A = this chain, B = another copy of it.
Amino acid sequence: MDNFNHLKSKILQTIEYSAISEILRVINKQGMISLAGGLPAPESFPIKIINELSNLVIKKYQAKAFQYSATEGEKELRMALVDYLKEKDIETNWENIGITSGSQQALDLIARVFINKNDLIAVESPTYIGAIDAFAPYQPKYIQIKTDNNGIIPEDLEKILKTKNIKFVYLIPTFQNPTGKTINLKRRQQIAKILQKYKTLLIEDDPYSALRYSGESLPAIKKFIPNQTIYISTFSKILAPGLRIGFYVAPKEILKLICTAKQTTDLHTNSFSQYIAAEYLKTGHLKKHLPKILLIYKKRLEAMLQALEKYFPKNFQWTKPEGGMFIWVEGPEKFDSLKTYWQAVDENVAYVPGEYFFVKKNFGKNTFRLNFTNVTEEKIEIAIKKLSQVIQKNL
């Protein structure tokens, strides 16, 4: 056999071609300053602490850290997360917390549990590509919720829920990917009320709220409607992504459904890394280390905002997030971020053209996403300056 095309499933065909992977293939070339990725800075990883905790976990838990274990996750980690979440104003029990192999897996499992072909999912406009990728094999259809600078517009959400049968609403309320936007407190309460009124499930994806560099923390929407929210978060941004530890908080009945789905896909998440994550919380290491991560990123965010201010044309706008990893840039209507992308790449600067973050065609062609966490301030300055020159040639 030298060809397997005839054996491919229909599901695979729904995800096989990734336009964004195609265009991002070029960014690995030598000398490229990539503002396209979504990677945390490797210098933010608490490597010494992980080493210490690895030794501690082996000593403390012995074989238990290496045996097959519960699909729900290790009790030690679920218990430690109760306290961690309490500080984030989320009151829950350990039995409501499930562990996944990164938050990407939580998205896949939620899709598997809930989505039938052609089900309607309501998402922010724009929204996170990784979630769309996770949902794709289950073949939903999408409704875009209108957004402004404070995130989704509650009135538009209500209009949608009133007229359409929506399976769930998927939101990243804090430092959204790709925009960096945050839904304000008033809107969070309004959104909760609307979801309650229409009895609609909320998937609240929250990978970034721990990465706050200024301003006041906001409660998760989950706080206002705990019984119809699946709250998802991750250790990828506060510890290290390579450990692949994500988690979710959900009504027990939903947790059971997610674990039923998880059981058949990978049995359970890496136990050794779950214990490392548990001890990272329990020993107080996160509290000591997080400020160091925040300091690195705060400087990079400021450097990028200053460079944009200094170099970018006056008819461009961008978000000014108080945290997270991304800035969203909007050019004048005629600006074509995909066309400019190839010219920028020739100049060794990469970003993600905005249109890829929309679930509908012909949106966001004048927008793009910039990442500031994985590039030094010096390189940010150089990249934004070059990018500005490329842009100005096209205006």
Chain A interface main SS type = helix
Q: Place the interface of chain A in its size category.
A: 35 or more
Q: A56: shortest Cβ distance to chain B, in Å?
A: 11
A50 interface neighbour in B45, B58, B115, Cβ under 8 Å: B58
- A24 contacts partner chain B, Cβ-Cβ < 8 Å: no
Q: Which residues of the other chain, B, contact A266 by a CB distance below 8 angstroms?
A: 100-102, 104-105, 108, 244, 266
- CA distance in complex: A211, B227 (Å): 48
Nearest CB of chain B from residue A352's CB, rounded to whole Å: 15
Judge whether A254 and B4 touch: CB under 8 Å.
yes
> Once the chains bind, are B63 and A55 in contact (CB under 8 Å)?
no
A9 touches B115 (CB 8 A): yes
Q: Max chain B CB contacts within 10 Å: which of A51, A105, A270?
A: A270
A residues bordering B, Cβ < 8 Å?
1-4, 7-12, 15-16, 18, 39-40, 42-43, 45, 47, 50-51, 54-55, 58, 62-69, 100-102, 104-105, 108, 112-116, 130, 133-134, 136-138, 167-168, 199, 201, 227-228, 236, 240-244, 251, 253-254, 257, 260-261, 263-273
- Other A-B pairs, 15, CB within 8 Å; known A7-B114, A12-B257, A104-B267: A2-B227, A4-B254, A7-B167, A9-B138, A43-B63, A47-B63, A55-B55, A67-B240, A104-B264, A108-B266, A130-B267, A133-B264, A242-B272, A243-B270, A243-B271
